[in-house]
Chains A and B, each alone.
Chain A
């Protein structure tokens, strides 16, 4: 039973470029969320997707956008990259069938902006 998988594992981009990160949820999960974790900090919530719609958003600018596909997988897009966007980007999934279904996290994509 595969857990949450993310790709790529590492990525280096230049300031001003755009990036797309991908996530496949754990089998049986239909809800996906994205988190940003700066070095030495706890993860911060970016947004959540359910039924292919953004349901809740954290305090992140519009440069951060996402998408959920019919198979529940998801993408995180970041435009006009800044040096400060360098971080570990984590995807988490859960099941909407059970209230308080635990979130399961992938191992993240390490993004470096130079």
Chain B
């Protein structure tokens, strides 16, 4: 399974964009990058995923570098409710058992008023 590297913690001011980096230099060509977040005492919440192209949904944007070795999750206008641990995960291809997600330590994002 491809390994990801994330900073252990980050701070961001409320209302500003939060940019969370992730390195996944050993990613394979058919592996997707997934982002989840976990607010205290809740289960992980799916945010977004992508393969090669940049993706955007109602929660966030995902920017993947051309060589796919790193990505950035962008929360455009962070609120206090975005305070959580954010996990960047490289998901194995379906043939390898796509429900096995390998979680690292994640990035603890704190949004400050």
Contacts and interface: CB of A to CB of B under 8 A. Distances in A.
A31 B105 CA distance: 25
B87 A42 contact: yes
A56 B99 contact: yes
Interface of B: 32, 34, 36, 41-46, 49, 87, 91, 94, 97-106
Interface in A94-114: 94, 99-108
B46 A100 contact: no
A100 B91 CA distance: 8
B100 A102 contact: no
A103 B43 contact: no
Interface residues of A, number: 26
A56 B99 CA distance: 9
Given A4-B43, A43-B44, A102-B49, A33 B32 contact: no
Contacts of B94: 99-100
B97 to A, nearest CB: 4
Contacts of A100: 32, 49, 91, 94, 98
